[in-house]
Amino acid sequence: MSGLMTIAGYALRESIRRRVLTVVCVLTAVFLGLYGWGTSAVFDEVRDSAGGLPLDEQVLTGATLLGLAMFVTLFLGVVLAVFLTLGAVRGDAERGLLQPLVVRPVGRRTLLAGRFLASAGVCTAYVLVVYTTALLLTGLIGGFWPGSIVTPALALAGAVAIVVALALLGTTLLSATANGIAIFMLFGAGLTGGLLGQIGAALDSETLGTISEVVLWALPFEALYQDALHALTADIDGVTGIAVQLGPFGGAADASGPILLWAVVYAGLAGAAAVRVFARSDL
Amino acid sequence: MSPSALVTRALTKRYGTQEALAGVDLEVGEGELVGLLGPNGAGKSTLVKITAGLVHATSGSAEVAGAPAGSAAARATLGYLAELFRFPGWCTADELLRLHQRLAGSRGAAAERADLLQLVGLSDAARKPVEQMSKGMQQRLGIAQALVGEPRLVLLDEPTSALDPAGRRAVRGLLEELRRRGVAVLLNSHLLGEVEQVCDRVAIVAGGRLVAEGSPRELSGAGGVEIETAQGTRIFPDAARDDVPQLVAGLVAEGERIYGVHVVRGTLEDAYLRAVEAHR
Ligand SMILES: Nc1ncnc2c1ncn2[C@@H]1O[C@H](COP(=O)(O)OP(=O)(O)O)[C@@H](O)[C@H]1O
Ligand SMILES: [Mg+2]
């Protein structure tokens, strides 16, 4: 236990000293500032234009803006997850940074677990803070509050935790650059799968639905993201609801119980595979 | 009797088709200082990495203080400095040692850190970040790191490659200090003179095999005896130190006058080159 905390603390200190967290905080503040400014401008427009359409423009605007913020939050969370774990095993071993730690009695499994704890801790805290801030900005400036507040937060946090587990598995197999590219590619594949599902739902296409389903099971972080979007907009009904569903951030898929359970198992399997590969590798 | 610091039996390692070790039996006794010599690619680093638990042996066994190499018990008794190592640039010397104290479960606290930094001559650099240190300073810090937690066996893979002559001499002193403390050391080095001066025993590997082993004195062997007489210097190439009284007595009996006797020693370098050449 103390070994685990020592490794996690070491990983955290490294990102603080390397100014990773400073850069992230400053740029995120810039993003949130822009988001608040944009939100305020958009809602001013909506109030001025005052109607004509048979739908609630305030709700449509709020849901779309918050959907956008959720996408950016996930994206930034993934960027952070990838860069915090990128070279944790193979990359650091190639540079000779890892060997002095591996030789100590704490062991390779604890080393990975400590890394996971630190990175997943930072990334989930990060998406929670950004999501909450965006939620408050949208609510306080535009008066839009989604039907569900907690579910999207948990889903986003789960999604980045899965990406951290995948990136750690990747780092036991690939050098830093290759791992970074691989994880971003998987992230892109997940997003594509999600979008195909949304289009499939709109067009009532079974093939697209199936493709999307396969992608969501293969990359369950996307299933969680879809679930977050769904929870955001699920209680909006009538014409406004249809309009939101057709927009780019209308969540098509409500993640079912089995896929949520699978997401947890998936992260566990990725972690176990990482432990196994690491235990067998020569450093 | 406590078990030897290190025992390997028929140890082999293949990296794919590349055979790095082809059956090595080596023992490092409690508190013994053993030098591991051999040409580049001989398998020295591989042997050390297997001992440290970084690399998995293909067959054979390696035990550190009675525990299988790579086990937590084995890792808890050793200290290691890799040939190619790096410490995080943002970390200060003191922080690095503190991290390793925690990981090694050492209770030495600040006193141990100060002692180790002093031992390697870095007392003034305790608060210096690694990225501001020269390679030689980093190597000395690496040696201090390997000594955290009072290990019973210290593995040093070419620990003086980046050091200047003064630094090397300091390391020799440090090795002698370790001997006094009863710490066993396995030292990989290309510097034959260094090994000859400090090691109790030398093992020479070539092509993944142990090709010669013994104390530096045994390995160097006799280089003959030179005796100065009135007739000039007479050379007895096959004689050793033990033969001197008999030789002198014989010459005196023949009526020679003796002005001086010189026992010529072979060098470890000669022995090394012979062993490695013979292997080819
Ligand atoms: N990770 C590795 N993958 C493949 N071959 C390796 C690896 N490490 C070492 N070797 C090979 O094993 C042999 C022994 O290497 P090494 O133990 O580093 O020798 P030394 O330390 O005596 O110079 C060399 O032929 C080297 O090329
Ligand atoms: Mg070597």
For residue A266, the model assigns a pLDDT of 96
B158 with B245, same domain: the answer is: no
Mean pLDDT of all residues in B76-83: 95
Residues of A in contact with B145 (CB under 8 A): 100
**How far does CA B18 lie from the centroid of its chain?**
25
pLDDT digits (tens, 9 = 90+) for A74-108: 999 999 999 999 999 999 999 999 999 999 999 99
Atom 4 of ligand 1, nearest CA residue: B15
ipTM over 0.90? The verdict is no
For residue B233, the model assigns a pLDDT of 87
pLDDT digits (tens, 9 = 90+) for A141-173: 988 898 888 989 999 999 999 999 999 999 999
For residue A220, the model assigns a pLDDT of 94
Backbone angles phi, psi at B84, to 5 degrees: -110, 100
pLDDT digits (tens, 9 = 90+) for B143-178: 999 999 999 999 999 998 888 888 888 888 889 999
For residue A252, the model assigns a pLDDT of 56
B229 with B154, same domain: the answer is: no
Q: How many domains does chain B have?
A: 2
Mean pLDDT of all residues in A226-236: 82
**pLDDT band at residue B222 using 50, 70 and 90 as cut-offs:** low
Atom 24 of ligand 1, nearest CA residue: B41
Instruction: Let me know if residue B1 belongs to a domain.
Output: no
Amino acid type, A199: I
Q: Do A103 and B75 make contact, defined as CB atoms within 8 angstroms?
A: yes
B232 with B188, same domain: the answer is: no
Mean pLDDT of all residues in B208-236: 86
Residue of A14, A99, A106 with shortest CB distance to B103: A106
Q: Residue B24: beta bridge partners?
A: B11
Amino acid type, A170: G
| Distance (Å) from CA B198 to ligand 2 centroid | 20
Residue predicted with more confidence, B96 or B163: B96
User: Which of B11, B12, B14, B18 for a ligand 1 pocket mutation test, highest count of atoms within 8 Å of Cβ?
Assistant: B18
For residue B183, the model assigns a pLDDT of 95
For the cut 90, the answer to whether the pLDDT of residue B12 exceeds it is: yes
**Final residue of a domain: which of B171, B198, B214?**
B214
Give the neighbor-by-neighbor strand order of the sheet with B67-68: B18-28, B6-15, B59-64, B67-68
For residue A205, the model assigns a pLDDT of 85
Ligand nearest to the CA of A282: 1
Range of the domain at B235: 221-279
Instruction: Let me know if residue B172 belongs to a domain.
Output: yes
Cβ–Cβ < 8 Å for A58, A44: no
Atom 7 of ligand 1, nearest CA residue: B15
Q: Do B105 and A105 make contact, defined as CB atoms within 8 angstroms?
A: yes
B207 with B267, same domain: the answer is: no
- From CA B35, how far away is CA B192, in angstroms rounded? 9
| Lowest-confidence pick of A119-128, B6-15, B179-188, B228-237 | B228-237
B203 with B235, same domain: the answer is: no
Q: Which residues line ligand 1 (CB under 6 A)?
A: A 282; B 15, 18, 20, 38, 40-46
For residue B223, the model assigns a pLDDT of 72
Residues of A in contact with B85 (CB under 8 A): 96, 99-100
B183 with B48, same domain: the answer is: yes
Mean pLDDT of all residues in B205-225: 86
pLDDT digits (tens, 9 = 90+) for A248-261: 666 556 667 788 89
Mean pLDDT of all residues in A12-38: 91
B226 with B209, same domain: the answer is: no
For the cut 70, the answer to whether the pLDDT of residue A51 exceeds it is: no
B200 with B248, same domain: the answer is: no
Query: Whole-model pTM?
Result: 0.88
Looking at the complex, report in whole angstroms how far the Cα of residue B54 sits from the nearest Cα belonging to chain A. Answer: 5
Q: CA of B254: how far to CAs of A81, B247, B259, in Å?
A: 90, 11, 15
**pLDDT band at residue B64 using 50, 70 and 90 as cut-offs:** very high
**pLDDT band at residue A53 using 50, 70 and 90 as cut-offs:** low
Average confidence score pLDDT of chain B: 91
Share of chain B above pLDDT 70, in %: 99
For the cut 90, the answer to whether the pLDDT of residue A229 exceeds it is: no
Taking the CA atoms of residue A267, residue A272, residue A277 and residue A278 in that order, the dihedral angle to the nearest 10 degrees is: 100
**Final residue of a domain: which of B214, B236, B261?**
B214
B80 with B135, same domain: the answer is: yes
B42 with B171, same domain: the answer is: yes
**pLDDT band at residue A54 using 50, 70 and 90 as cut-offs:** low
